[in-house]
Structure 1
Amino acid sequence: MRKKEVSMIILAGGASSRMGRDKSDLTIDGKTFLEMQIEKGEKLGISDILLSGYHGENKYKYPIIPDRFPGKGPLGGLEACFRKAKNPYCLVLGVDVPLVPAEELAALIRQSLHSDAKAVILSHGGHEEPLMGIYRTDLADAMFEEITLRKGAVFAFLRRNGYECYESQVPDRYFSNINDPEMYSKIQTTEMSLKK
């Protein structure tokens, strides 16, 4: 795999039930979470960026890909996007982890260049992040099977198809999953204090 063979999928279609509003449009320092993730992809030189399930107005130059099977969670979003991706590999990134450094995603891509695994996901401090990884797009049919014949759980899918981990050494706070107002407020306060 060469770097130019990587597309990017930003998972932006969650229900945001705990947050109470669309997480994609939340902001830190004047930029929406979705903008922050798109910028990382562009910084990595990725031109084929797909926005999975985004509900807002598309003011971006990238296509919004709806799920073919709504209500099937992240795997449903990935299955639809993998069929539209132009490249054989996809960098998968959830919209609700806006602080993950582009450099860590670059390191994840580098490890996957030398791997035979169908997926390489990021791991930090003992936590595996299935929605932060490099996946082969030819997994689309296996994902279809997972969401139509089984429960469609991402980890069950990974265990069935095989994966390896890239072990990140950066602090855990960069991987904060911002799912509720309390976490959002905490992250905003932390980021403002770090900039002082």
Structure 2
Amino acid sequence: MSQSKENIAVYILCGGKSTRMQEEKGLVDFQGKPFIQWILEAIFPLSSNITLVTKNKAYQKFGFPLISDLQDDKGPVGGIYTALAHSDTQTNLILSCDIPKITTNVLSELITQAKNCKNSICFLTDGLHDYPLIGCYSKSLLPVFAEAVLESRLKLCPLVNEQNPMKLFVYQKNQSALTNINSKAELHSLT
């Protein structure tokens, strides 16, 4: 087993309200499989330590542990707080459940860079948009996220940018892996 596979915990945030999609995003079908299945298949070569952050029991069928948010309705900041509080590892890969085109290669590069940098957060960017929900977070950030939840500072990008993150640029040939799908219209335009 590779060093990465042993030393990284993966948390997929599945607890969103899915308001624009109007159904549970992680369970939405794309090319014959739910979003979450595509993501799990991309992760599995890199880590088997996978936890789904959700209270929706429909995710049990994927065979990974489910944990509920420690604080309800705190969005991704609350999801990351829950993941870091649960984790026993220093490096934690945090992913949203709406990125069905994510690839093992892109995630492998992210993990490698995160383990080799001194920053407590390393996430992907295409140069135009940041993707903090495709990122690695140090367990040491638990107090930062706990305080943010307590104070209801729930905007993720400003919070992570305060932590001097490393932003890993994804070149154009791999940028489709970053596509997050939030609505039926976006799903229908996905190829």
Alignment partners' CA distance in 2, 1:182 and 1:121: 26
Aligned to 2:54: 53
Structure 1 segments unaligned to the other structure (5+ residues) = 191-196
Offset of 1:30 from its aligned partner? 1.7
Structure 2 segments unaligned to the other structure (5+ residues) = none
Aligned to 2:68: 66
Partner AA of 2:74 in structure 1: K
Aligned to 1:173: 176
Alignment partners' CA distance in 2, 1:129 and 1:165: 9
Counterpart mapping for 1:129-144 below 5 A: 129-144=131-146
Q: Determine if contact 1:122/1:166 at 8 Å carries over to the other structure.
A: yes
* 1:112-144 Cα shifts (integer Å, max 9, x gaps): 121000000101142111101111022112101
Aligned to 1:80: 82
* 1:6-65 Cα shifts (integer Å, max 9, x gaps): 100111111011111111111222211111111222121x12111012524211221111
Secondary structure of the equivalent of 1:103?
Answer: helix
Aligned to 1:43: 45
**Which is worse superposed, 89-98 or 50-59?**
50-59
Aligned to 2:105: 103
Partner AA of 1:22 in structure 2: E
Aligned residues: 186
Alignment partners' CA distance in 2, 1:56 and 1:176: 26
Secondary structure of the equivalent of 2:44?
Answer: helix
Q: Determine if contact 2:74/2:152 at 8 Å carries over to the other structure.
A: no
Aligned to 2:26: 24
* TM superposition score normalised by structure 2: 0.91
Secondary structure of the equivalent of 1:132?
Answer: strand
Aligned to 2:186: 183
Partner AA of 1:95 in structure 2: C
Offset of 1:174 from its aligned partner? 2.7
Aligned to 1:194: none
**Which is worse superposed, 24-33 or 12-21?**
24-33
Q: Determine if contact 1:25/1:33 at 8 Å carries over to the other structure.
A: yes
**Which is worse superposed, 29-38 or 49-58?**
49-58
Q: Percent identity?
A: 25
Alignment partners' CA distance in 2, 1:171 and 1:108: 12
* 1:52-109 Cα shifts (integer Å, max 9, x gaps): 1252421122111111111110110111121212311111111111102110110111
